[in-house]
Structure 1
Amino acid sequence: MMITKAAEAYHEKMFPDYQSSFLETDPEFITLFDNFAFDTVINQADFDNKTRMQVILAVLIGCQSLAEYKAMLPAALNFGVSPIVVKEIIYQAVAYLGIGRVYPFLIATNDILTEKGIALPLANQATVTEKTRLSDGEAAQIAIFGEEMKGFAQSGPKLSRHINQWLTENCFGDYYTRTGLDLKQRELLTACFLLAQGGCEPQLIAHFKANIRLGNDPEFLVTMISQCIPYIGYPRSLNALRCLTEAEMNE
């Protein structure tokens, strides 16, 4: 077997003039991987390169693959993913993975952007104030999940009600209201964080429902999951498909 012309061409777009050391150490493996990831998968369905690269970055954060993230971030930039979008992916990941798992990716992102001559910090993307983050967060929840989210911050058992408030004002108020990504894009990336880390099936089902409600239809979501397979493997991808089926049935 040889690396296909289509895989070679896509690899060249991602990494101009770069020759992988795996061609010397693991030629059989790199042929199998490149032909699958950069020919079969990308040609499975129509999926624009910017969205594909955003999805890949999100699932790499979700599955904690720092080395592959460092390799793929320059490719994402080469395909036109803006530094602001990259940073928004990183920031929103904190709400779904926690700073303990996202911190190394933030450091790596800053290092790569700096190496490429991109001045930091980037332009401010915040739209809320301390006084509006709760109400604006609730507005985002309602826009994503529906009117049943009205009053969510004040709901639930008294002992843990503060966590519902934090979800509204922090997860949705602080992050979802930022510019750089719209709600439809943010929900897609949230699904990526959840499916890649695993063990979040109830939340993934809820966010697949939200994706469908916002216009990321099931066919599009199946294509998104398909793009993830080379990076997160089959078990978590198949789990994601099962969650999507359940979301469709209960939507």
Structure 2
Amino acid sequence: MANEGLSEFNTYARAALKAGVKAEEIKEILYQATPYVGFARSASFIKQSARLFKELNIKLEDNRGTTDEKNRFEKGLQAQVDIFGEGMRQIPKGMPEDTQFIRAFLSANCFGDYYTRKVLDLKFRELLTFVILAALGGVEPQLKGHIQGNLNMGNDRSVLISAIAVIIPFIGYPKTLNAFSAINEIAKA
């Protein structure tokens, strides 16, 4: 999704299913990418997955969300705290007043609506986020933050390096080298 590879989606989704990845997991991976790549990119992949699963007679439960309007901020903030630590509760205090809205929206939407969903655990979602950001490129501050988040969740340096090594053919060498540089800075050998 980060590199707009819709033409290859069916091939890789079919291979994943054959290898034992569940359709629900594929769908959740697509949903997890949405706040990072944007809905404009993710929508076509989500629609394509629905067509593929229909073709393969795979029926999915679509109600994997765990939040509602009343609790999405608190659940999202708790996910951020679980990943990044208690300091996440203090972030609005250091932000300019006119940009504090993004903090609430980030907690409620990105972390509340997506990270708290069923099927994928928090540790895997954080690893997936790291891979998505590396594939996007040009987002090194966020990439570094999520490297630290991965370390906090137990995904060590070797896991991060292995994840990038697997996606080299999909993201190219410049983004790979940038990801390795960020890993080297945050998760020193």
Q: TM-score, normalised by structure 1?
A: 0.72
**Structure 2 residue corresponding to 1:119, chosen from 59, 77, 90:** 59
Write out per-residue CA displacement over residues 39-87 of structure 1, whole angstroms, 9 at most, x where no aligned residue. xxxxxxxxxxxxxxxxxxxxxx111111122211100111111111111
**Structure 2 residue corresponding to 1:235, chosen from 174, 181, 188:** 174
Higher Cα Rg: structure 1 or 2? 1
Counting matched residue pairs gives 188
Q: Is 2:134 the partner of 1:184? A: no
Residues 4-43 of structure 1 mapped to structure 2, 5 A cutoff: none
Q: Residue type of the partner of 1:63? A: N
Given that 1:188 and 1:216 are in contact with CA atoms closer than 8 Å, whether structure 2 keeps it comes out as yes
Question: Structure 2 unaligned runs (5+)?
Answer: none
Q: Secondary structure at the match of 1:148?
A: helix
Between the aligned residues of both structures, percent identity stands at 42
Q: Is 2:45 the partner of 1:105? A: yes
Given that 1:144 and 1:213 are in contact with CA atoms closer than 8 Å, whether structure 2 keeps it comes out as yes
Given that 1:154 and 1:164 are in contact with CA atoms closer than 8 Å, whether structure 2 keeps it comes out as no
Q: Comparing 230-239 with 205-214, which one deviates more in the overlay? A: 230-239
Mapped to 1, the partners of 2:155 and 2:142 lie a distance apart of 17
**Structure 2 residue corresponding to 1:73, chosen from 3, 13, 30:** 13
Mapped to 1, the partners of 2:19 and 2:148 lie a distance apart of 29
Runs of 4+ in 1 over 4 A off after TM superposition: none
Residues 137-156 of structure 1 mapped to structure 2, 5 A cutoff: 137-152=76-91, 156=95
Q: Residue type of the partner of 2:153? A: L
Q: Residue type of the partner of 2:68? A: T
- How far off its partner does 1:152 sit? 3.4
Q: TM-score, normalised by structure 2?
A: 0.94
Mapped to 1, the partners of 2:91 and 2:54 lie a distance apart of 41
Distance 1:105 1:154, change over 3 A: farther
Mapped to 2, the partners of 1:123 and 1:109 lie a distance apart of 13
